[in-house]
């Protein structure tokens, strides 16, 4: 059994949640920042910070073959918990089975509402008065695993998808580290 406090953060882009997870780590160590996009901006920040990084372009790879390579890299770094943070790739059933119960994700909606993409536009379109974000366990079904914690963000009358996204993102940066600090001690 690997130490759950050895965390890998998986990103595909700017990595603002990754930064929050690094800066607010109390009970875990960020042992690896990994990306399926070698040009992800978040990787530069992680390298500058002296963190260990790994990247391999997933474009054109067969899904499970890629995931087996990724999994081997995580094992090589003795990872116990995987935190997805803007990782824009659906993991294969093989990978999810291999790391079952040890993968968490942050999603910008109050799950079970608005799984998938464009959550803020969908919340506005529905006329919701409350938006937010959820940290959940990753299972084979997209954005459907057990919710570990949520933060609510009121929707304002003049909100656009962009303005709402900014406020939800700020809430994500507080929620995700708090939940991960608890999760690794379970």
Q: What is the DSSP letter of 129?
A: S
Token pair, residue 159, equals 């909100």
Which of 39, 76 has the CB closer to ligand GRF? 39
Contact segment (CB under 6 A) with ligand GRF among 75-83, 101-109, 139-147, 152-160 equals 101-109
Which of 2, 171 has the CB closer to ligand GRF? 171
- Phi and psi torsions of 102, nearest 5°: -120, 15
CB of 180 to ligand GRF, least distance (A): 13
Which of 3, 140 has the CB closer to ligand GRF? 140
Give the residue among 167, 157, 161 at the shortest CA–CA distance from 129.
157
Task: Answer whether 78's CB lies under 8 Å from 31's CB.
Answer: yes
169 binds ligand GRF (CB under 6 A): yes
Question: Helices 41-48 and 16-23, interaxial angle, to 10°?
Answer: 20
131 CA to centre of own chain: 18
Token pair, residue 9, equals 């953060």
| Chain residues 119-158 in contact with ligand GRF, contact rule CB under 6 A | none
CB of 42 to ligand GRF, least distance (A): 6
Residue of the chain from 107, 138, 153, 155 that contacts ligand GRF (CB under 6 A): 107
Which residue sits closest to ligand GRF, CB atoms considered?
86
Residue of the chain from 22, 46, 85, 175 that contacts ligand GRF (CB under 6 A): 85
| Chain residues 2-41 in contact with ligand GRF, contact rule CB under 6 A | 11, 13-17
**Distances in whole angstroms, Cα of residue 14 to Cα of each of 17, 43, 63, 64:** 9, 8, 23, 25
106 binds ligand GRF (CB under 6 A): yes
Q: How far apart are CA 102 and CA 67, in angstroms?
A: 15
Q: Which residues are at the interface with ligand GRF (CB under 6 A)?
A: 11, 13-17, 85-86, 106-108, 169, 172
């Amino acid at each position: 059994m690997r130490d759950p406090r050895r965390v890998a953060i998986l990103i595909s882009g700017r990595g603002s949640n990754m930064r929050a997870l690094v800066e607010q780590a109390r009970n875990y160590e960020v042992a690896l920042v990994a990306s399926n996009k070698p040009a992800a901006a978040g990787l530069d920040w992680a390298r500058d910070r002296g963190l260990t990084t790994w990247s391999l372009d997933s474009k054109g790879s067969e899904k499970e073959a890629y995931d087996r390579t990724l999994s081997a890299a995580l094992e090589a770094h003795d990872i116990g918990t995987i935190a997805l943070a803007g990782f824009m790739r659906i993991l294969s059933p093989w990978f999810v089975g291999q790391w079952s119960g040890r993968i968490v994700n942050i999603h910008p909606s109050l799950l079970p509402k608005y799984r998938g993409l464009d959550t803020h536009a969908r919340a506005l379109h529905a006329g919701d008065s409350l938006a937010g974000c959820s940290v959940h366990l990753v299972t084979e079904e997209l954005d459907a695993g057990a919710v570990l914690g949520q933060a609510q963000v009121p929707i304002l009358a003049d909100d656009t998808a962009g303005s709402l996204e900014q406020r939800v993102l700020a809430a994500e940066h507080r929620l995700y580290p708090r939940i991960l600090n608890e999760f690794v001690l379970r």
